[in-house]
Chain A
Amino acid sequence: MFLDQGLRGSLSSDRDMESDWVAASQQGDNRAFNRLVLKWEKQIYNLTLRMLQDPGEAEDTTQDVFLAAFRNIRRFRKDAKFSTWLYRIAVNHCLSRLRRRPHGIHVSLDAEGSEERVMSRLPSRDSHEGEILSEERQSRVRAALQFLQPEHKAVLELKFFQDLTFEEIAAVVEAPVSTIKSRLYAGLEVMRYRLGAFSSDI
C-alpha cells in the first residue's frame, strides 16, 4: 500500500506523462494504458461506488470502464482532457446500470438497511487532510445520495467528489452549463432535505 501510494503520487505529479501514455495506448500499448489505470482507478472506483452503492457492482463497472476506455482509446481526440473522456465513460456506464435496475428506481433496494451492510464491508478509508466525518455521518450522506435522480447524482458526484468545474462537468455529461447548474441545485436540495433532520441541530 505504501509503495502504491508513492507510485500514484509520482505518477500524478507529471502531467505531460499522461499524454505520452495516452499516445502509447493508442498504438495498442496496454502497459502504458495500465499506468493511466493506476492513476485514475481510485477516482473511477469511488465514483462508481457512490453512484451504484454496491461494492461488487462498482468493481465490475470500474473494470468495464477501463476496458471500454482501452478498446476505444483511438477514438479519444487529444484536444480533450483524458480525465473528461474517462469520466464520461464512467458516468455513462453507471447511468445505464442504474436505469436497468428493477422498477426503474435509482434507490438501491432497502437503501438504509443495505447501506449499513455495504459500508461495513468496505475497506478502511485512507487518511485525509481535511475534516474527518464520523463513520455514521458518512453513511448518512451516502444513503441520502440514493434519493437523487441518477443524472443529478452524477453531476453532484463530479462537482463535490471529483472537484470538476461547471465547464468540465458540462463536457463530461455533454449538456449545457445551465443544465448542469439546475441539476446540481436540484440535487443539493434533495440532499439538504435528506440530511436536514441530522443537521437541524446546528
Chain B
Amino acid sequence: MVATCREYKTYIPRAILGDLSQEEQKALDQHLAECSPCNREHRMYSETVRQVSAVQDVSVPRHFFVYPEETHGTPWHAFLRMSRAWQAATASVLLVLGFASLLAISRLQIRSEDGALVIGFGRLPERRPAAPPVPQMDTSALESRILKIVAEKSRQDNLEFLRTLRAEMARSNKSIGREQRALLEQAINNVELRMGQLVSTTAANLEKKTDRSVQEAYRKVSLERARDLAAIDNRMNLLAINGEVKSTQTDAILATLLQVAELRMQ
C-alpha cells in the first residue's frame, strides 16, 4: 500500500481513536518511522488526546433530585407523560370539543328584545306568544289608561258570567230547594262583591302606578274569587248528585259547572 503524506495525515486521528484496519495501521506505523513531519503530527495528536482525556470531572455542587411537586409540570407535560393511546384519545376529545365550540360560536345569535338581550343558537325562536292578561298588568311601563281598560274588560267578563249564572239559577229555580238556592245566591253575591273590590283596589293601585301593589292586589282578589267559584262549584255538584235538579235541566247545570271550572283554572 502506497500513500502520500497527505493521505497518512488523515490516518493519524483515526489511528489515535483505533479506527484503522490492521493493514492501514501497519502502513501508517511504517510511514511514521520514516517521515518525521508525520511523526510529529502523530505525537501532537496523541498529546492532544492525552490532555483532553486527562481532564477530570468535578464533583457536583449539589444533588439534582426531582421532587414530587416538580414532577407534574404544565398540562403539556402531563400530556407528554401519557401513553400514546391516551394521548390520541385526549387529542380527539379536544378536537371534537373545539369543533363543537366553533360551530356553536358560528351559530350564536344575540338579539335585543324588549330591552333585554336574547341569546340563542341557530334560528332564534319567534317572540313568545303574548302573555295572558295577568302578567300584562304588571308592567308599570304601560299607561294606567290601558290598565284600566284591561281591568274593566275583565270585570265585564266576570259580570257577564255572573249574569248567565243567575239566569241559570232562575231557570232551575223550581228544581232547587229553597235553602240551596239561598246559599247559591249568597255565593254569587260574594263573587260580585269581591269583583267590586278588585276593581276598586286595582284602580287605587293604578293611581300609585306601582308594579308590585297591582300584582299583589290582583293575586289577593283572584285568590278570593277562586275560593268563591270553588264554593259555587261545590254546591252545584251537590245539587247534581242529590238529584234535586230535574233531568231536563241537568244539561244547563253541567254547562255552568264547566264554565265555573274553566274560570277556576284561569
Contact = CB atoms under 8 A, between A and B. Distances in A.
Interface of A: 1, 28, 30, 33-34, 37-38, 41-46, 49-50, 55, 59, 62-63, 65-67, 70-72, 74-75, 122-126, 128, 130-133, 137-138, 140-142, 156, 159-161, 166, 181, 184-185, 188-189, 191-192, 195-196, 199-200, 202
A38 B63 contact: yes
A33 B81 CA distance: 15
B16 interface: yes
Interface string B46-81: 011111111111111111111110110100010011
B64 A188 contact: no
B91 interface: no
16 contacts: A30-B66, A42-B59, A45-B60, A70-B66, A72-B81, A74-B82, A123-B61, A133-B54, A133-B55, A160-B49, A181-B19, A185-B14, A188-B16, A191-B52, A195-B47, A200-B44
B67 to A, nearest CB: 7
Contact of A74 (B55, B64, B66, B81): B81
Nearest to A119: B58
Nearest to A1: B59
B73 to A, nearest CB: 5
Which 5 A-B residue pairs are closest in the complex by CB-CB distance? A199-B47, A46-B57, A192-B48, A133-B54, A34-B65
A123 B82 CA distance: 40
B52 A62 contact: no
A80 to B, nearest CB: 17
**Residue of A130, A137, A166, A185 ringed by the most chain B CB atoms within 10 A:** A185
A196 to B, nearest CB: 6
A199 B59 contact: no
Contacts of B55: 50, 133, 138, 141-142, 161
Given A188-B16, A192-B48, A41 B60 contact: yes
B66 A192 contact: no
B56 A138 contact: yes
B54 A126 contact: no
A71 B14 contact: no
B9 to A, nearest CB: 10
A63 B64 contact: yes
Contacts of B67: 30
- Interface bin, chain B: 35 or more
B65 to A, nearest CB: 5
Contact of B54 (A41, A132, A188, A196): A132
Contacts of B68: 30
Interface string B80-109: 111100000000000000000000000000
Interface of B: 13-14, 16-17, 19, 43-45, 47-68, 70-71, 73, 77, 80-83
Nearest to A74: B81
Contacts of A59: 61-62
Contacts of B83: 74
Contacts of B59: 1, 42, 123-126
A41 to B, nearest CB: 5
A72 B77 CA distance: 8
Contacts of A45: 58, 60-61, 64
Nearest to A63: B64
Nearest to B73: A71
A41 B77 CA distance: 22
A71 B63 contact: no
A36 to B, nearest CB: 9
Contacts of B80: 71-72, 75
Contacts of B13: 184-185, 188-189
Contact of A71 (B45, B47, B58, B71): B71
A33 B57 contact: no
**Residue of B57, B62, B82 ringed by the most chain A CB atoms within 10 A:** B57
B131 to A, nearest CB: 60
A184 B77 CA distance: 35
Nearest to A41: B64
Contacts of A75: 80
Nearest to B54: A133
A33 B63 CA distance: 13
B45 A37 contact: no
Nearest to B14: A185
A126 B66 contact: no
A188 B53 contact: no
